[in-house]
Chains A and B, each alone.
Chain A
């Protein structure tokens, strides 16, 4: 209960001037949530090995929204899966630090429809909480809160197959937020949705994030998405996947995904990132892979 109250306080309490200066705060004063040093991931395939990620270095600060963009197959999803505990890295150091005394909890919103089809929407949202042995009363309270926050309250007893694609993705988002993870991992969560739903959900995600200010690592193909949501954008080089550059995104919050596009800095940043990506996409070893 205390946590949710805190979230609301953050929403109402922060003044615009504080928010504008927050970007600078993050870079300098906040402690590191994730420290990745010299990370590599080598997959053993039939008849050889494939280096997916190599010499990957990145520090992500607490409360930061960071996007990773890069060409297909550059290893950005692999980095995310390593953070989620779904793959083990081959070498390097990955450190995840949490300051509230709890065990670091990293939960993922997946690209594909990942709401478990054999559970109702409510049970899906409660899934992580139940695994952690949270009390029934607390589960009830959090599930209700997050179903309301994602406009799913009416569908609590429905099964995922009865929902639209956008609603299914809201279930995944609610499930991740409800578990109150220290770090939220998102792997192209809106890639499979139509353009209208995508904009709608981006705005919803922005609003939810404003309330919680969680550390988010967001993988995407879409530069618009990266620019709209992030504090910093990591551009990855491909084959092997490594960090090519990191750009600060200076837009004030709260942001509106449509209004943002009128800002002259938006197109300037867009071109810069696109120029870097183009270099990567045109590399022969990457181009031939398409």
Chain B
């Protein structure tokens, strides 16, 4: 064995990079930077003539149209209508879903009776049962509110159930051993322990609520952002269409940020 073949090898571990960590990734700025960059790039390539302005008007042109809609007050009417429907459906549907989901998670016989129904109705697009809901609840607001609530309900029923079923046994034991029963048990153990999963469900439900509200407003409404999008198409007003689309994404962003904030307040141990 030739011993002179063994060579000393050295690695030197690098200290941390002092330049890193100066930017706070958790600040609210993050939510603004990437959309702002996208709009800037869009404006530049538009001005350079690289995109067809008939389909993709300049952000500055969209801004002008947005300003006009703001001044005339039209924007507020439609945002108000859509936001009202979304919030009502989201809050009512989610609240009912959390209660039913928690009961399914806690009580085996309720789970065996109700879960097959939930699982079989959940995949039906709620927009597909809208005609039926129209027949039952009529042409007014009620039909829309019911449809949006129903969409949110299923997301929360399923996520609250799986959240409750996955609670570590020791927390259930603490509740039972220290005398929590019934609603008190649900309120002080089951719901808080399932909150991280419930919040995932809430974010999915919020997306679904927007999807459904815009679709419903296409079909059957005299106001709302969906109605405005459809009307832009009828009027060939591409700029108004973009104002509406950007409004939807802005509202979605605001509500997701609000949910994130609520999650940090209510689930401080999880983040």
Contacts and interface: CB of A to CB of B under 8 A. Distances in A.
Interface in B165-212: 168, 170-171, 173-174, 176-180, 184, 188-189, 192-193, 195
B184 A131 contact: yes
A114 B170 contact: yes
Contact of A128 (B168, B178, B189): B178
Given A114-B170, A118-B193, A118-B195, A107 B268 contact: no
A131 B178 contact: yes
A253 B208 CA distance: 66
B interface bracket (residues with beta carbon within 8 Å of A): 20 to 34
B177 A127 contact: no
Nearest to B268: A159
B118 interface: no
Contacts of A107: 177-178
A110 B173 contact: yes
B236 interface: no
B50 interface: no
A114 B174 contact: yes
B75 to A, nearest CB: 40
A234 B258 CA distance: 56
A84 B177 contact: yes
A159 B168 CA distance: 18
Contact of B180 (A112, A117, A131, A161): A131
A116 B174 contact: yes
A160 interface: yes
Contacts of A112: 168, 170
A116 B179 contact: no
Nearest to B193: A118
B269 interface: yes
B267 interface: yes
Contacts of B180: 131
B174 A131 contact: no
Interface in A118-175: 118-119, 127-128, 131-132, 159-161, 175
Contacts of B195: 118
B160 to A, nearest CB: 15
B174 A110 contact: yes
B173 A116 contact: no
B178 A127 contact: yes
Contact of A108 (B177, B188, B189, B193): B177
Nearest to A123: B188
Given A131-B184, A159-B269, A160-B269, A114 B171 contact: yes
A230 B184 CA distance: 36
A128 B181 CA distance: 12
A112 B171 CA distance: 10
A164 to B, nearest CB: 15
A131 B184 CA distance: 8
A127 B178 CA distance: 7
Contact of B179 (A81, A131, A160): A131
A121 to B, nearest CB: 12
A86 interface: yes
Given A110-B170, A161-B269, A118 B192 contact: yes
A85 interface: yes
Contacts of A84: 173, 177
Interface in A68-112: 81, 84-86, 106-108, 110, 112
A190 to B, nearest CB: 16
Interface string A175-199: 1000100000000000000000000
Contacts of B268: 159
B177 A86 contact: yes
Nearest to B178: A128
A108 B176 CA distance: 10
Given A131-B184, A159-B269, A160-B269, A114 B173 contact: yes
Contacts of A116: 171, 174, 188-189, 192-193
A80 B180 CA distance: 19
B178 A179 contact: yes
A84 B170 CA distance: 13
B158 to A, nearest CB: 22
Nearest to A111: B170
A117 B179 contact: no
A179 B180 CA distance: 13
Contacts of B193: 116, 118
Contacts of B178: 107, 127-128, 131, 175, 179
Contacts of A110: 170, 173-174
Contacts of A114: 170-171, 173-174
Contacts of B267: 118
6 contacts: A108-B177, A113-B170, A116-B171, A116-B174, A127-B174, A179-B178
Interface of B: 168, 170-171, 173-174, 176-180, 184, 188-189, 192-193, 195, 267-270
Closest 3 CB pairs of A and B: A131-B179, A118-B192, A117-B269
